[in-house]
Amino acid sequence: MAQHIVRAGGPAPVILAADAFQIYRGMDIGTAKPPPDERAGFAHDLIDLVSPHDPTPFTVEDWLARADARLAELRAAGTPAIVVGGTGLYVQALLYGLFAGPPADPALRAELHALGPEALRARLLAIDPEAAARIHPADLRRTVRALEVHTLTGYPITALQQQWARDARPRPGLAVCVLNPPKETLSPRINARVKAMFAAGLVDEVAALLRVGPLATQPAEALGYKQLIPAVSAALAANRWPPRPGEVDDAREQIKILTRRFAKNQRTWLNRLGSTPVSVTLPPEPPAPDTLPAHLLAVCAACQASTPGQA
C-alpha cells in the first residue's frame, strides 16, 4: 500500500507499529518485526522502544501517548501514516481513546497496596472476574486501578469500560482496513510461520536475550518466547548448547497450538474493528497491482468521509 502511494505520486507514508511486543528491542523474529530490507524506503516507528529487561510495565497508555504525538507531527508535515498491527487494544485505543474513569485517590491506593498481591488478586477475582482474566496477576498497577474504580464508583471497571465503548465515537481522519483471512487457511499459515521463525534463528534470539538477563514480566509472556525460555534457560544454566532437540520440539508444538488459539482471539478483535463505521475490509490475499488502486480509493474515501471538508 505504501509503495503504491509513492508510485501514484504521493508522499512516502510512515509506518507506525501497533504491536505490544514489537516495542521491545531484540525481540525481532518471534514478533514478526519487519526486517531492514522490508523497511527500505519507508520510515518505521513505534518499534524497538524499550528494553525487554526493563521491569517498568509499558502500557497501552504509554503507546497511545507516543502514537498521538507522532501522528500530530506527521499531520502537521502533511505526511500520511499507515498504522499496522496486531494488538487490537492498541488499535481500539487509537480509534476511540481510553476509558478514563474517576481520578486517582492516593490514600485509597496506599490502602490497597498494603493488602499485598495475593489479597488484591483474590478481591479482583471476586468483584470483576472479566478484568481478572485480562490483567496479569503480576500487574499490580492495573489490579489496583480496577479495585480503585470499583471502590469509588460501586461498579466493576469492566462494566464501565463496556458502557463507555458503546457510547464512544471513532476519531476523525482514520479508517480501519481489516484483513481477515478464511479460517481454513490459518492453520497451514501458522505452521509455516512457526517453521520459518525457528529456521530464522528464534532459539538463538531467545538465548541472546537471556544472556543479558531475565526478561521482564511483560515481554516474558510473549508468544513464542514464553514457550522457549525454560528450555533455553536450562541449556544456558547447564553450560550446554544448543538445547536438547526434544525440548525445542515440544516448545515448537506448543507455539503452534497457542498461536492457533491466539488467532481465534484475534478474529474477535478483527470482527469488532470491522464494525467500526469508518472501515474497509480488504481481500484475504494481497490484491493484484491493477486492483490495488480501487482498495486505496476506498480507504481514502472512508478517511475523507470521517472528516468532512478535509482531504
The mean per-residue pLDDT over the stretch 230-241 comes to 96
Q: How far is 25 from 62, CA to CA, in rounded Å?
A: 16
For CA atoms 121, 125, 128, 132, the dihedral sign is: positive
pLDDT reported for residue 174 = 82
Binned at pLDDT 50, 70 and 90, residue 296 comes out as low
Looking at domain 99-167, its CATH class is: mainly alpha
Report the chain's mean pLDDT, rounded to a whole number: 88
The mean per-residue pLDDT over the stretch 245-259 comes to 95
pLDDT tens across 49-59, in order?
999 999 988 98
* 92 three-class SS: helix
pLDDT reported for residue 291 = 59
Which range of 35-44, 51-60, 118-127, 161-170 scores highest in mean pLDDT? It is 118-127
Quick check: 199 pLDDT over 70? yes
Contact call for residues 84 and 128 (beta carbons, < 8 A): no
Quick check: 48 pLDDT over 60? yes
What beta strand segments (E) does the chain contain?
Answer: 14-18, 44-45, 81-85, 176-179, 279-282
pLDDT tens across 211-221, in order?
999 999 899 99
Binned at pLDDT 50, 70 and 90, residue 311 comes out as very low
Q: What is the pTM of this model?
A: 0.81
Q: Which residues contact 252 (CB under 8 A, 6 or more apart)?
A: 194, 198
Contact call for residues 194 and 164 (beta carbons, < 8 A): no
pLDDT tens across 139-186, in order?
888 899 999 999 999 999 999 988 887 777 788 888 788 877 888 888
pLDDT reported for residue 309 = 35
Nearest CA among 59, 15, 19 for reference residue 38: 15
Q: How far is 144 from 104, CA to CA, in rounded Å?
A: 10
pLDDT tens across 75-101, in order?
999 999 999 988 988 998 898 888 888
User: What is the distance, to the nearest Å, from the Cα of residue 233 to the centroid of all Cα atoms in its chain?
Assistant: 26
Place of cell 498497577: 141
Q: How far is 40 from 61, CA to CA, in rounded Å?
A: 29
On the CB side of 84, how many CA atoms lie within 13 Å of its CA? 16
Quick check: 198 pLDDT over 90? yes
Extents of the domains making up the chain: 2-97+168-306, 99-167
Place of cell 492457533: 260
> Considering only 51-60, 122-131, 294-303, which range has the smallest mean pLDDT?
294-303
pLDDT reported for residue 306 = 53
Question: Greatest CA separation found in the chain?
Answer: 66
Q: Do domains 2-97+168-306 and 99-167 have the same CATH topology?
A: no
User: What is the distance, to the nearest Å, from the Cα of residue 88 to the centroid of all Cα atoms in its chain?
Assistant: 6
Quick check: 29 pLDDT over 50? yes
CA dist 90 → 96, 108, 129 (Å):
10, 29, 22
Binned at pLDDT 50, 70 and 90, residue 120 comes out as very high
Q: What percent of the chain has pLDDT over 70?
A: 90
The mean per-residue pLDDT over the stretch 260-289 comes to 74
Quick check: 205 pLDDT over 50? yes
Strand partners, 24: 50
Nearest CA among 247, 250, 251 for reference residue 226: 251
pLDDT reported for residue 105 = 94
Quick check: 299 pLDDT over 70? no
CATH no. of 2-97+168-306:
3.40.50.300
